[in-house]
Structure 1
Amino acid sequence: MSVTQLYPPGVPCWIEVATPDVVGGASFYGELFGWQFDSGVTAPDGGTYVVGSVEGGQVAGLVQPEGKAAAGSWRTYVRVADLDAATTAVVENGGAVHTPAVDVPGLARSALFTDPAGAVFGVRELAGHRGAERVNAPNTWNFNTLRTPDTAVATRFYGSVFGWLATVADFGFATGTMWCLPGYGDFLDTRNPGWKQGHIDGGSPPGFTDAVGWLEEVEGGADWSVEFTVADAARTAERATELGGEVLSGPFDVGGTGSAVLADPSGARFTVNDYGSAAG
Structure 2
Amino acid sequence: MDGFKHGLPSWADLGSPDPDESASFYGELLGLETTEADDELGGYRMFLRESRQVAGLGPLQQEGQPPSWTTYIDVADADAVTEKVREAGGEVHVQPMDIRDFGRMAIFADPTGAVYGVWQAGEHKGSQVVGEPGSVAWHQCNTREPDEALEFYGKVFGWESEKVDTGGADYWQLSSEGATVGGLFRMGDDFPDEVPAHWIVYFAVEDADAATEKARENGATVRVEPFDNEAGRFSVLQDPHGAAFALINQGGGSVVAEAAKANDGEDAEEEEKDGN
TM-score using structure 2 length: 0.83
What amino acid maps onto 2:132 in structure 1? A
Q: Which residue of 2 aligns with 1:148?
A: 143
Greater Cα offset, 15-24 or 219-228: 219-228
Aligned in 2, Cα 1:271/1:49: closer, same or farther, shift over 3 Å? Answer: same
Greater Cα offset, 250-259 or 150-159: 250-259
Aligned in 2, Cα 1:84/1:255: closer, same or farther, shift over 3 Å? Answer: closer
Count of aligned pairs: 245
Deviations 1:94-142 (A, max 9, x none): 0011122231121011111010011100001111001001100111100
Deviations 1:162-182 (A, max 9, x none): 110011245899984110101
TM-score using structure 1 length: 0.82
Q: Is 1:98 equivalent to 2:93 in the alignment?
A: yes
Deviations 1:132-158 (A, max 9, x none): 011001111001111111111111110
* Cα pair 1:48 1:66 within 8 Å, conserved: no
What amino acid maps onto 2:210 in structure 1? R
Matches within 5 A, 1:49-88: 49-66=44-61, 68=63, 70-88=65-83
Identical amino acids, percent of aligned pairs: 37
Given candidates 107, 116, 120, the residue that maps to 2:102 is: 107
2: distance between equivalents of 1:272 and 1:43? 32
What amino acid maps onto 1:148 in structure 2? T
Q: Is 1:14 equivalent to 2:11 in the alignment?
A: yes
Over the aligned positions, Cα root-mean-square deviation in angstroms equals 2.2
Could you tell me how far 1:65 is from its partner in structure 2?
A: 2.9
Q: Which residue of 1 aligns with 2:20?
A: 23
Q: Which residue of 2 aligns with 1:211?
A: 180
Q: Is 1:40 equivalent to 2:37 in the alignment?
A: yes
Given candidates 189, 208, 224, the residue that maps to 1:249 is: 224
Q: Tell me, what secondary structure is at the counterpart of 2:250?
A: coil
* Cα pair 2:206 2:249 within 8 Å, conserved: yes
* Cα pair 2:102 2:124 within 8 Å, conserved: yes
Gaps of 5+ in 2: 252-276
* Cα pair 2:169 2:186 within 8 Å, conserved: no
Could you tell me how far 1:71 is from its partner in structure 2?
A: 3.4
What amino acid maps onto 2:80 in structure 1? A
Q: Which residue of 1 aligns with 2:175?
A: 180
Given candidates 231, 234, 237, the residue that maps to 2:212 is: 237
Greater Cα offset, 213-222 or 225-234: 213-222
* Cα pair 1:20 1:68 within 8 Å, conserved: no
Aligned in 2, Cα 1:63/1:113: closer, same or farther, shift over 3 Å? Answer: same
Q: Tell me, what secondary structure is at the counterpart of 1:48?
A: coil
